[in-house]
């Protein structure tokens, strides 16, 4: 089984996570990797509802920052790895003091490790480039890094979907020649 990397982009509440779940439900052995930190009661409730929406037989891993390390430890027994979401990963890394270059390196490492897995890979991320310019530096830095991360992942993905109002649009199809391995956008 050759792996395929799929990126699903969309705005907040666009239906991107639901779409990712529908794709992953086609597989029997799924590793769901959550990057969210439940720092307050409202977010903890969102996490609880997200967990309830997933099949009970999926294996859930919660890792807010070190995805490459976690995935490298996973055996090849999974036929699908779903990561939700890259945007929260970027936020967690920025708030932990990582520089842009450190974050891009972590994403490159993650993609390299994912490319070696036999599983289908589904990555979810927010499209952050369609809104207003954030009013403060932290917001602008986040938008810039998240946007660049999306570009790096999209370039290296086999297929990319954009989700709006629960409807998905394929914006990159699998290429017969395969993805451009290790050609990262800077």
CB within 8 Å of 95: residues ≥ 6 apart: none
* Interstrand relation of 80-84 and 120-126 (parallel, antiparallel or unpaired): parallel
Q: Per the residue annotation, which of 4, 23, 27, 50 is the catalytic one?
A: 50
Determine how many CB atoms are found less than 10 A away from the CB of residue 138: 11
Max CA pair span of the chain: 47
| CA–CA distances in Å: residue 45 to residues 38, 39, 48, 60, 172 | 8, 11, 5, 17, 34
**Angstrom distance (rounded) from CA 137 to CA 167:** 33
Q: Where does the chain have alpha helices with state H?
A: 16-24, 41-53, 67-73, 86-95, 100-116, 137-156
Task: Mark whether 70 is an active-site residue.
Answer: no
DSSP-derived secondary structure letter, 10 = E
Catalytically active residues are: 50
């Amino acid at each position: 089984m050759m792996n395929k990397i799929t990126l699903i982009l969309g705005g907040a509440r666009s239906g991107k996570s639901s779409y990712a779940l529908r794709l992953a439900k086609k597989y029997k052995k799924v590793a769901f990797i959550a990057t969210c930190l439940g720092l307050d009661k409202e977010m903890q409730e969102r996490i609880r509802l997200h967990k309830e929406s997933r099949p009970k037989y999926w294996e859930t891993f919660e890792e807010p920052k070190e995805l490459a390390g976690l995935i490298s430890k996973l055996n090849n027994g999974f036929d699908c790895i779903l990561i939700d979401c890259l945007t929260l990963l970027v936020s967690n890394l920025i708030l932990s003091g990582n520089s842009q270059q450190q974050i891009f390196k972590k994403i490159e490492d993650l993609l390299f490790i994912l490319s070696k897995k036999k599983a289908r890979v589904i990555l979810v991320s927010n499209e952050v480039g369609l809104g207003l310019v954030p009013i403060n530096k932290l917001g602008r830095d986040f938008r810039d890094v998240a946007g660049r991360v999306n570009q790096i992942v999209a370039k290296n993905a086999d297929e990319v979907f954009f989700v709006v109002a629960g409807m998905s649009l394929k914006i990159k199809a699998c290429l017969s020649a395969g993805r451009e391995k290790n050609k990262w956008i800077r």
